[in-house]
Amino acid sequence: MDLLIWIAISLVLYGIYKYITINNDYFQKRGIVHIKPTFLFGTMASFILNRESVYDFSNNIYRKFPRQKVIGLFDMRKPFFCVRDVDVLKQIGVKDFEYFEDHRSFVDEKADVMFGNSLISLKGSKWRDMRATLSPAFTGSKMRQMFELVVECASTFKATASNSGSIDCEMKDLFTKYTNDVISSTAFGYKVNSFEDPNNEFYLSGKKFMEFNTPLAGMKFLLMQILPRVAAALDINFTDSKVTKFFRSMVLGNMDSRAKQGLFRPDMINILMNVKKGTTNELNSVEETQTDGFATVEESVIGTKVVKRVWTDDELVAQCFLFFLAGFDTSSTLLSFLSYELTVNPQIQQKLYEEIQETYRNLNGKRLTYDALQKMKYLDACICETLRHWPPAALTDRMCNKDYDYDDGQISVKIKKGTYFFIPIYGFHHDEKYWPNPEVFDPERFSDENKDKINLGAYLPFGIGPRNCIGSRFALMEAKAVIFYLLLNFSFEPNDKTQIPLKLSKSPFSLTAEKGVHVQLKLRK
C-alpha cells in the first residue's frame, strides 16, 4: 500500500514538473538564441524575487546577446521574445501594428473594473474605439484651455514652499502632491491643495493605489499571473475596493451635477459627458505637434476617427482613474529625477535658470503662458534628457493578436497568437550605439544642433506607434510649468540626505530611488 502511495505522489510531482517545464525547449527547437530558464521562474527570477530593480533587469536582458536582433526569454513557463533592434521594434510597433496592437493581460476587466477597463488594458476594437474617444481630450488646443489651471497649481506650489529661506524636501513626495492637485483640477474639476491638506481623498487614493510596490502587492501579482481563476475567486486585484468606490462615486456624481446645472469645464469629465450623450468629440484639424516638445508623440489615424459606441459607467470611470494614476505617479517620478540631476549638475541648473529668467522678463509681469513655455528650448531639452536617462517605464510589451510570420534576416519563425514581445526601454535608452556616453546626463543631446542625429526608434519615453502614451502633451506641460516656477524662485542644493550617486530601489514595477530624492530648495535673493 505504501508503495502505491509513493508511486502516486511521484506521478503527481512528475506531472507538475512536466507542466512547468514543458516549454523549456521552445526556442531550442526553433534555433533562437535564448536565456536558459530556471525551474518555476523561467528567466524572471531576479526580477520576481526583488534581487534587482526592473531597470537593471531591463538593461541586463537587453545587453545579454548584443549581436542578436531578438532573443528568447521565459515568463515563468511561458516563452516570449525580447526585442533589441530598432528596425524590428519599428516593424512590430508601427509597420505591422495590426498584428501587435495589444498589451499582455495582467488583470481581468470583470475582476478589476478600474484597471481592467482602462485604456492601457483594453484590447482590439474596444481599445481602438476608446482611444479615438479620448484623443480629443489631449490635443494641443485642449492643453491651452487647461493651462491656466496648471499654472494656478504650479504657482501655489511655489508659494507653499517659500515660507522660509530654505526647505529640505523629499522630491517625490513633494511632486506627487503637486501632480495630484493638477489632475484633480484639470481632469475632475475639484480644487484641492495637498500641501495644506494632505488627507484629501484624491491624494490618499493615489497613495493607496501606489502601494503595489509592497511585498504583499508582489504576492498578489504573482497569484494573478500563476492562478488567475483563484485570484478572481478570492477577489484579489490591483485596485483597492475603497479606491474604486471613491472614483466611481466622484466621477459619476460630477457628471450628474454638471448636467443638472449646465456647467462646462474643458476637461476629461466633459469629454466623457459628451460620450455618454452620444455627442462626437471632434479633433481640431490643425495641431501644433512640433511646438509641444521633442518627446511629444503624434496621434495615429486611430485617434482621429469618429466613434459611435455605448460605453458603460465603469468603462468611462476607468479612463479617469487611469489618467489620475498616470499623472500622479509617472509625472512626479519625472520631476523628482529631474530635480536630482539639476541638483548634482549645477552648471545645467544655472543654464536653465538663465533661460527661465529671460522668459520671465519677457512676460513683463504677466502670468506664464502656454506659448511662452513651449518656446523654452533648454527646458524641453532637460525634460527630454531626464526621460532618456530615467524613463518612468523601464519596459513595455506588445502581444501578438493573430498568427504572424516573422523574419528579420537572422531568424524566421511563425509567431503564434498570444505570444508577446518584451521591449526593454531602459536598455535602448542606455545603448552606446545610439547615445554616446549614455550614463552622462547631457541635455545638449536634444539641442537644435544635435536632435536631428537622434535615432527616434531608440527613444521611447512614451512608447512607440499607435499604442503610445495618449497623455504626453499633458505630462510635459505640467512638468515644465512647475519647474519654471520652482527654479525661478529657488536653487536646488544637496543636503545631508542627498544620495550621490542616486541608486534605484529593487522595486518590481516603478522607478524609485533607494533612499528617496532629497533636495534643499534655497530661496533666491
Confidence tier at 83 by pLDDT (50, 70, 90) = very high
Confidence tier at 285 by pLDDT (50, 70, 90) = very low
173-185 pLDDT per residue, tens: 999 999 999 988 8
- Residue 384 in marked binding region: no
Contact 265, 249 (CB under 8 A): no
Closest-CA residue to 504 (of 55, 2, 44): 55
What pLDDT, on the 0 to 100 scale, is given for residue 288? 47
DSSP 363-425: TTTPPP-HHHHHT-HHHHHHHHHHHHHS-S-S-EEEE--S-EEEE-SS-EEEEPTT-EEEE-H
**How many other C-beta atoms lie within 10 A of the C-beta of residue 38?**
14
Using the predicted structure, report yes or no on whether residue 267 has a pLDDT greater than 70. yes
What pLDDT, on the 0 to 100 scale, is given for residue 317? 87
Closest-CA residue to 311 (of 280, 283, 259, 272): 272
What pLDDT, on the 0 to 100 scale, is given for residue 80? 95
**Any residues with CB less than 8 A from the CB of 220 and at least 6 apart, and which?**
231, 236, 237, 238
What pLDDT, on the 0 to 100 scale, is given for residue 313? 86
The two beta strands, 78-83 and 420-423, are parallel
Using the predicted structure, report yes or no on whether residue 275 has a pLDDT greater than 80. no
Grouping H, G, I as helix, E, B as strand and the rest as coil, residue 34 is strand
Q: Compare 347 and 131 and report the one with higher pLDDT.
A: 347
Instruction: Give me the amino acid identity at 91.
Output: Q
Closest-CA residue to 280 (of 254, 261, 305): 305
What pLDDT, on the 0 to 100 scale, is given for residue 374? 93
Average pLDDT over residues 70-78: 92
Average pLDDT over residues 480-490: 95
What pLDDT, on the 0 to 100 scale, is given for residue 445? 97
208-233 pLDDT per residue, tens: 776 665 666 666 666 666 666 666 66
Using the predicted structure, report yes or no on whether residue 282 has a pLDDT greater than 60. no
What pLDDT, on the 0 to 100 scale, is given for residue 286? 40
All three cell numbers of 218, joined, read: 508582489
2-16, 184-198, 251-265, 268-282: least confidently modelled range: 268-282
Q: Compare 142 and 357 and report the one with higher pLDDT.
A: 357
What pLDDT, on the 0 to 100 scale, is given for residue 1? 57
Closest-CA residue to 104 (of 85, 84, 126, 80): 80
Residue 200 has φ and ψ, to the nearest 5°, of -70, 155
Distance CA 50, CA 48 (A): 6
Confidence tier at 369 by pLDDT (50, 70, 90) = very high
Confidence tier at 339 by pLDDT (50, 70, 90) = very high
Confidence tier at 101 by pLDDT (50, 70, 90) = very high
410-438 pLDDT per residue, tens: 889 999 999 999 999 999 999 999 999 99
5-26 pLDDT per residue, tens: 887 788 888 788 788 888 889 9
Distance CA 115, CA 107 (A): 7
Average pLDDT over residues 275-287: 56
229-245 pLDDT per residue, tens: 666 666 666 677 777 88
